[in-house]
Chain A
Amino acid sequence: GQNIDQPTEMTATEGAIVQINCTYQTSGFNGLFWYQQHAGEAPTFLSYNVLDGLEEKGRFSSFLSRSKGYSYLLLKELQMKDSASYLCAAINDYKLSFGAGTTVTVRA
């Protein structure tokens, strides 16, 4: 499989900002997804980046640098309901591979 690296866990305070980084192989790259998964629930789509730059959707933004093989998901004004696992997934050589996920815990 492809090497997709993201931190295992992150903790932040309610109202704060958290940035989840993801690195992937650049060869044959054709797009990157971010998914959110609450415990015991289905992963749900957050964003898809294929071009360099920042995509903003409300409190969540996703950034991509194709040349560096790097993406991040930025969560702003954190709320308790944002506590979840965040999955990075990259398309390389027409195969979609997932990272192990980053568990974000939001504390009051």
Chain B
Amino acid sequence: ETGVTQTPRHLVMGMTNKKSLKCEQHLGHNAMYWYKQSAKKPLELMFVYNFKEQTENNSVPSRFSPECPNSSHLFLHLHTLQPEDSALYLCASSQEGSNSGNTIYFGEGSWLTVV
């Protein structure tokens, strides 16, 4: 139990569907992240939120839309995805930005399959 909870754990969606991934952290952290993990590839940072404000968007296609209503919750809205978007999507949080050496804590991830 890492204190970061993601739902759903598994999602299969068609290319025309709209779905959302949800993340909640119970650690009192101020920064939240979305990462994409594909097989044999480095973790790719997608989005960063600090105190509910988006501070980083790593050139992520607009078919991925993040939402951070408060410091404890983070969503990733998915629309018209492609099969190559199939991956493990990891949510994470840290006290403040990880670039200052603060440890980031990951959720268990949401396995996404686009068919």
Contact = CB atoms under 8 A, between A and B. Distances in A.
Do A and B originate from a single complex?
A: yes
A42 B42 contact: no
A4 B42 CA distance: 9
A63 B33 CA distance: 27
Given A8-B40, A87-B43, A98-B42, A31 B101 contact: yes
A12 interface: no
A96 interface: yes
A106 B98 CA distance: 31
Nearest to B88: A40
15 contacts: A1-B42, A35-B106, A42-B109, A43-B90, A48-B101, A87-B43, A89-B43, A91-B98, A94-B97, A96-B98, A96-B99, A96-B104, A97-B42, A97-B45, A100-B42
